[in-house]
Structure 1
Amino acid sequence: MSPPPLHVLTEAEKNELLLAQHEMIERLVARISELESLVGTPRKTSRNSHIPPSKDDFGKRGGKGGKPKAGKRPPREGKHRPLTETPDKTERIMAANCCHCGTDISSQAQHCRHRYDHIDLPPIRPIVTRIELFGARCGGCGRRYRAAAPAGMEPGTPFGPGIRSLLAYLHHSHHVSFERLSRIAAELFGLTISQGAIANAFRRMEAGMTAATKAITDKLLTAKIIASDETSTRTNGIAHWQWVFLSKDAVLHKIAPRRARSVAEEVLGGHQPDVWVSDRYAGQQELGKEHQVCLAHVLRDVQYAIDCGDTAFAPKVRDHLRWAIRIGKRRSSLKDTTLAAYAAKADNLLTRLVQMPVAHPAGRVLLKQIKAWRSKFFIFLTNRNVPATNNISEREIRPSVVFPKVTNGFRSDWGAQIHAGYRSVTGTARLSGKSALVAIRELVDGRFMVA
């Protein structure tokens, strides 16, 4: 609705209207200035910022999904499926007639001319065991008695550990929703199970998950090097954060309603590792005696400065960090004295770089960032067990980023905690060579142990 004509307004109403228009003009001028400042700056992508690759425009600007490069694809070595070492059954088929002229050759000696495997699955059906507990009235005391239920088949849920383990594996490892789990059970296994029964099966794992998580936490707190990362998730429609903490022997996931530093401090419980590995988020700082920041994140910021037009400072920083990372990959073949010399060289060269004059605005922003973090760049050159990037944490947390996109997130607090416990158990088991299905079956059976 347009405002009334000025001649019908009182003096006070005119002043109020002019004031509102003046405020609106100021907001529009500020917005125009903001948009003008963005003109000419490069678009932020996963290559030059912390934006995930899913936000990139696939197929544009020569990125992934675009037109394939011209030229013939180089030839590749042929591959074939190896034969099974221990086949369940072997069928030896003798020729009865010559395939060329039809002569009877059944009496001739023959040898194997071709060998291959035919692989198939039998119909998968659940094994149903009817339990009948007999009893009567005692002739001695006159009281009724009944036989004890067999171990592992007590009254209650009719679904055994194999079914519960498979349901958890398909849901948390392969992101199969409750509705699809119910369909898979009916159509693939001939098993009728409702979504509510699936939820109840997961809730029964809560006590075992809690005990396993406690053992994993105790193992984590013995580590000298801990890497960590966090990502957003949703529980009951409310924003939460999923944290992951890793050592060489343990993986711990935790879903909390906040991203604050206090979450990590609660997990550590006063323990301070020798080295903490993470990105540069403030809540991840000063949790270890030393801190190795993720150089992959730093290189993205460097790349953004280059994309903005800095051709002097940022390229030199990029080349220096890449050189240091290459040295880190050769650590196992280097002597201690050689590695110490490389560490000193890396630090000295970075010192010279941050002392050089920087003219480009993007380069000055990058210089300020590097000065703030430079003492945390090359810890991996002084400690062979420290990674140069936080890629291990990002790989570990990636499935949990995909999970809510497929299953629409968590609808209860206990569901989120079950997922965090599942990821902790299976992630820790993977470090000792166990598959996720084996690990969760051991948990359901009460046999899960942290190596």
Structure 2
Amino acid sequence: MGRSDLERLSREELIELVLRLQRPEKTSRTSSKPPATDRKEQREHSKPGGAKPGHKGHSRVVSDDPDTIVQHRPEACARCGSSLHAAFPAQVVSVSEQIELPEVTPIVTQHRRLAVCCARCGTRVIAPPPEAARGTPFGPRLHAVATYLKTFQALSYERLQAALSDLFGLTLSQGGLMNLLRRAQGRFRPGREAAVSALRRATVVASDETGVRIEGSNAYHWVFHAADAVVHTASPTRGAVVVREMMDGHRPAVWISDRYTAQQGHADEHQTCLAHLARDVAYAVEVSDDPVPWRLQLWLQSVFALAERVTDLAASTLSAKRRSLDRQLGAILATPSRCDLSRDLQAKISRARDQLLVFLAYPGKVEPTNNRSERLLRPAVVQRKVTNGYRAMWAATGEADIRTVVDTARLTGSSPFSTVLKTIGA
């Protein structure tokens, strides 16, 4: 905006412009920006980390099946000096453990084909090639360790190569590692298909996406999840076509997501993420004296408080509270305001009004926020920041398959490495 444009503005428009320029930047608390983007001075004045007052501490659990037990028994009485015979009964007063990792070295099995001359006819007979010589020289556990480190610890090929060399004394080229990982990723395809099949039968589905670099171009990492399945997928687009292809005509009862248009209209009802809305409201409360954002913040606090005990209330009670909350929201949205932030919030919430309290009709099955999708995407965000993306689409697709199988198995309590090893060794 140039000088001539400013001169044509009215007094009210100039005041509004100045007020906008004076507004503070959005932070992770007042928007969807990650905490790492907050300014240093903001982080210094933020709440301290660590346990909160009154938090009950936890200590390491003592092993139920130790490899070695050493009994430390007193030999003489500390008072009179009498000998304490080994036959005297004793009781355990404390247990401490010393834990160490064994030295890990590769187990190399060398298969040698031998040739033997027949004593009768002189024919030179060569043993047939063993099964072990027909495939890769690397075993399932080595495939699993490399896959785990690359996928879940976000190691680049260079760092993975160094880790295998330093920890296990293995020398593998980056090309060899790439081939190893590509073989391992292929083992996860059946598990992915099973997860997609479960997703296409789900009643409640949630989704989200984040940016990623693939083959030097901007692309997207999507996540879809239901009660019994988590599906990750890599795509060059952020459009609704990704959702349509994933669901293949299946229409759930409820879809949970943010207000992004591409994720709308895929279910009978839609639950908009209230956490996103709460951050927008928090920003308006911080920069404006208008009462509308403050009233919206109090309304959201009431909604979140109700969400915490939604499974403890009867359906009739939830229905009555939903009607009451909707009336309160209607009054807030109808309140006149001169603040542009308040008006924007009122317009935004009005468009999504029928999507804010859907979770009350499905107690315990529909969450009021889409936070779980964000948690499922967080490892992909870390991977993007550490490695700057994927060199090839097959790598992004293969890693999405691995995350699909592992995150789905996590729903039943399986650990990532055990799932990777079990899948590759199957």
With over 3 angstroms needed to count, the CA separation of the structure-2 counterparts of 1:100 and 1:273, relative to structure 1, is same
Q: Which runs of 5+ in 2 are unaligned?
A: 9-13
Give the drift of 1:408: 2.7
Per the alignment, residue 11 of structure 1 pairs with none
Deviations 1:268-308 (A, max 9, x none): 11111111100001111111111100001111111222223
Deviations 1:391-428 (A, max 9, x none): 01000000100112112321111111121111111111
Q: Distance in 1 between matches of 2:86 and 2:219?
A: 76
Do 1:216 and 1:428's aligned partners in 2 also have CA atoms closer than 8 Å?
A: yes
Per the alignment, residue 11 of structure 2 pairs with none
Give the drift of 1:56: 0.8
Q: Distance in 1 between matches of 2:250 and 2:159?
A: 43
Q: Distance in 1 between matches of 2:213 and 2:314?
A: 48
Q: Distance in 2 between matches of 1:28 and 1:410?
A: 47
1:81 equivalenced with 2:63 (yes/no): no
Deviations 1:190-217 (A, max 9, x none): 2222222111111112432333222211
- The aligned amino acid for 1:132 is R
- The aligned amino acid for 1:218 is S
Per the alignment, residue 197 of structure 1 pairs with 176
Q: Which runs of 5+ in 1 are unaligned?
A: 1-22, 447-451
- The aligned amino acid for 1:149 is P
1:237-248 pair list within 5 angstroms: 237-248=216-227
Per the alignment, residue 304 of structure 1 pairs with 283
Give the drift of 1:26: 6.8
1:334 equivalenced with 2:316 (yes/no): no
Per the alignment, residue 168 of structure 1 pairs with 147
Per the alignment, residue 274 of structure 2 pairs with 295
Q: Distance in 1 between matches of 2:201 and 2:76?
A: 72
Per the alignment, residue 31 of structure 2 pairs with 49
1:224 equivalenced with 2:206 (yes/no): no
- The aligned amino acid for 1:421 is D
Give the drift of 1:370: 1.1
Do 2:290 and 2:337's aligned partners in 1 also have CA atoms closer than 8 Å?
A: no
With over 3 angstroms needed to count, the CA separation of the structure-2 counterparts of 1:408 and 1:372, relative to structure 1, is same
Per the alignment, residue 422 of structure 2 pairs with 442
Aligned length: 414
1:127 to 90, 102, 107: 107
With over 3 angstroms needed to count, the CA separation of the structure-2 counterparts of 1:121 and 1:56, relative to structure 1, is same
Q: Distance in 1 between matches of 2:422 and 2:60?
A: 31
Per the alignment, residue 391 of structure 2 pairs with 411
1:56-75 pair list within 5 angstroms: 56-60=38-42, 63-64=45-46
* Larger CA deviation: 386-395 vs 353-362: 353-362
SS at match of 2:22: coil
1:90 to 59, 69, 72: 69
* Larger CA deviation: 354-363 vs 110-119: 110-119
Give the drift of 1:148: 6.1
Q: Distance in 2 between matches of 1:45 and 1:97?
A: 66
SS at match of 1:60: helix
Give the drift of 1:82: 3.5
SS at match of 2:146: helix
Do 1:98 and 1:105's aligned partners in 2 also have CA atoms closer than 8 Å?
A: yes
Do 1:310 and 1:362's aligned partners in 2 also have CA atoms closer than 8 Å?
A: no
Per the alignment, residue 6 of structure 1 pairs with none
SS at match of 1:252: strand
Do 1:234 and 1:410's aligned partners in 2 also have CA atoms closer than 8 Å?
A: yes
- The aligned amino acid for 1:382 is A
Deviations 1:330-388 (A, max 9, x none): 01111111111111212222122222222322211111111111111000011111100
1:100-179 pair list within 5 angstroms: 109=88, 111=90, 114-133=94-113, 146-147=127-128, 149-150=130-131, 153-179=132-158
Per the alignment, residue 12 of structure 1 pairs with none
Do 1:308 and 1:362's aligned partners in 2 also have CA atoms closer than 8 Å?
A: no
Kindly, what percent of the aligned residue pairs are identical?
34
Per the alignment, residue 10 of structure 1 pairs with none
